[in-house]
Amino acid sequence: MRVGCGYDSHRFVDGRRLVLCGVDVPFEQGLDGWSDADVATHAVIDAISGAACLGDIGTLFPPGDERYRGVSSLSLLQAVVDMVGHRHLAITNVDVTVVTERPVLAPYIPQMRATLGAAMRLEEMRVSVKAKTNEHMGFVGRGEGVAAVAVALLEPAHDR
């Protein structure tokens, strides 16, 4: 088995929609980034690509490359899932924690699990999404942005 850990953070900005785990979350601000800035999906991508020794999201999909401007992070995740398959590996499960003071994410978690699962071709029971606050500490606690951490477990594809 292979384990990967991913982390990402983005600051809030005006004029963008907030996308987390591929789900539009109603909020007065979105996240700043080259793609759709889906911090949670970016953490998942880094966890999976780390477990498969593919490098990180910035290496695979460089910021500044016009092909990725405003792109859905779910499409990047699907590309990484395909890369993992070419390495004869399969994703066993993914666990992601989204850290933000606002908005409250609990109502969106079932849809987030379903959306991530569909992008990775995984059953929902293999995808965990959790939301936490940062207890008003640091940039997340001050409401300046969102962070996410993810863990992925991969195994040889023939074992599944």
Instruction: Give 49-78 pLDDT, tens digit per residue.
Output: 999 999 999 999 998 888 888 899 999 999
Instruction: List, for residues 72-105, the tens digit of each pLDDT value.
Output: 999 999 999 999 999 999 999 999 999 999 999 9
Domain boundary assignment for the chain: 2-159
Q: How far apart are CA 123 and CA 112, in angstroms?
A: 13
Q: Which helix (H) or strand (E) holds 83?
A: helix 73-86
pTM of the shown model: 0.96
CATH architecture of 2-159: 2-Layer Sandwich (3.30)
* Whether the Cβ atoms of residue 118 and residue 81 lie closer than 8 Å to each other: no
